[in-house]
Amino acid sequence: MGINKKSIFVFAEQVDNRITSVVFELLGKARELSEKLNAVVVAVLPGYQIAELPKDLYAYGAHKVLISDHQALREYRTEPYTQVIAEMIRQYEPQIVLFGATSIGRDLAPRVAARIHTGLTADCTGLRVEDERLRFLMTRPAFGGNLMATIVCPDHQPAMATVRPGVMVKRLPEPDAMGELIPFEIDLTENHLFTKILETVREEGSKKLDIQDADILVAGGRGMKSAKGFEILRDLADVLGGEVASSRAAVDAGWQEKAIQVGQTGKTVRPNLYIACGISGAIQHLAGMEESDFIVAINSDPTAPIFNVADVGIVGDVFKIVPKLTEAIRKERTN
């Protein structure tokens, strides 16, 4: 029992005893890295009454699960989680530790990194092992998304990274996969670093389909001119079975909610089809959608940068083209 090989840790974030989907994406990536490094993938799982969760972690690629089941870990708080992860890292000395760049991951990872004195690279969009020297290379956007930086952590272990949801690819799940469960005991006594949770309030409106889960997105930008302008996008999304998304400009203008904002400071999406309507294609926006399988852009300005990433670009008036497109698709569907 134990971990006597090289290991890659993946923080198995769970909320209300449900594993956050980015964890499965990270497990997929970790498995890929583990083959090159000859390492095992270990999902680290702090929580309370979480005995049901490891099987999903094995299904998506974990070889082992390091589990810490403790009442103090029932709901996320920085300090108890930091203590658990830091202790796990000290004991098992993994090469690499991965976190999802969620609001939990981006809070926990830096605290852990500082506690154990190692390097942390945030919001990675690429992770790979270099062929010859087996260097671990982390790629991330910087300068507001205008640059891609490649980062290494040569002299400290583990190399830590947070990874944006929607970037890495999940493996196909193997529901019967088995793995090794390693219980991790730790004494967690409240100290001055522990915060107190007075109340937790779940927010409505998060029931809507997350744009990161949609296969088809119809997105609008400043060119839609108003909140009302988005109505034709809603119609197109409906007939395609997709969702509506927004650029930052339309969110800042108050026409759409931040929850559907795509881009550097919004969400990263990679749907099968992304239709960008009245979106100029600033770097900050492209950062959030350029990995989409098929990109269609409709814009009246032929010099708009969005056309540089679009598979199909239509120069024209969105207000004329989109309704006609919706009609044509409806006809196709009924035939």
Partner 1 sequence: MNIIVCIKQVPDTKEVRIDPVKGTLIRQGVPSIMNPDDKAALEAALRIKDGMGAKVIALSMGPLQADAVLREAMAMGADEGILVSDPQFGGADTWATSATLAAAITKLEYDLVLAGRQAIDGDTAQVGPEIAEHLGIPHISYAKELRIEGDEVIVKRQFEDRYQLLSAKMPVLVTALSELNQPRYMTPRGIFEAYREKQVTHWQRNDIPVESENIGLKGSPTRVIETNPKVMKAPGTKIEEDVEKSVQYLIEKLKEKYIL
| Segment 174 to 233, residues that bind partner 1, using CB under 8 A | 192-203, 206, 216
Q: Would the CA dihedral through 206, 209, 213, 214 be positive or negative?
A: negative
* Among the listed residues 247, 284, 285, 288, the single contact to partner 1 using CB under 8 A: 284
* Among the listed residues 68, 256, 264, 280, the single contact to partner 1 using CB under 8 A: 264
Q: Which stretch binds partner 1 (CB under 8 A): 61-69, 120-128, 166-174, 175-183?
A: 120-128
Nearer to partner 1, 15 or 178 (CB): 15
Examine residue 287 and tell whether it contacts partner 1 (CB under 8 A). Answer: yes
Examine residue 74 and tell whether it contacts partner 1 (CB under 8 A). Answer: no
* Among the listed residues 134, 156, 174, 190, the single contact to partner 1 using CB under 8 A: 156
Examine residue 270 and tell whether it contacts partner 1 (CB under 8 A). Answer: no
Neighbours of 252 (CB within 10 A): 13
* Among the listed residues 120, 260, 269, 279, the single contact to partner 1 using CB under 8 A: 120
Nearer to partner 1, 254 or 302 (CB): 302
**In which residue are the tokens 């000290």 written?**
90
| Residue 219 beta carbon to partner 1: minimum distance, rounded to whole angstroms | 16
Phi, psi of 237 (to 5 degrees): -60, -45
| Residue 150 beta carbon to partner 1: minimum distance, rounded to whole angstroms | 4
* Among the listed residues 38, 254, 302, 334, the single contact to partner 1 using CB under 8 A: 302
CA distances from 273 to 89, 229, 259 (A): 41, 21, 19
Examine residue 132 and tell whether it contacts partner 1 (CB under 8 A). Answer: no
Q: How many CA atoms lie within 13 A of 72 on its CB side?
A: 18
Q: Are strands 18-19 and 136-142 parallel, antiparallel or unpaired?
A: unpaired
Element (H, E) at 39: strand 39-47
Instruction: Tell me if 91 sits within 8 A of 154, measured CB to CB.
Output: no
Q: Are strands 273-277 and 243-246 parallel, antiparallel or unpaired?
A: unpaired
Nearer to partner 1, 51 or 114 (CB): 114
Instruction: Tell me if 48 sits within 8 A of 73, measured CB to CB.
Output: yes
Nearer to partner 1, 177 or 239 (CB): 239
Examine residue 328 and tell whether it contacts partner 1 (CB under 8 A). Answer: yes
| Residue 179 beta carbon to partner 1: minimum distance, rounded to whole angstroms | 28
Q: Are strands 18-19 and 14-15 parallel, antiparallel or unpaired?
A: antiparallel
Q: What spatial distance separates the first Cα and last Cα of the chain, rounded to whole Å?
A: 61
Query: What is the rounded CA–CA span in Å between residue 239 and residue 249?
Result: 25
Q: Which stretch binds partner 1 (CB under 8 A): 4-12, 33-41, 182-190, 325-333?
A: 325-333
**Chain residues 80-99 in contact with partner 1, contact rule CB under 8 A:** none
Examine residue 52 and tell whether it contacts partner 1 (CB under 8 A). Answer: no
DSSP conformation class of 264: T
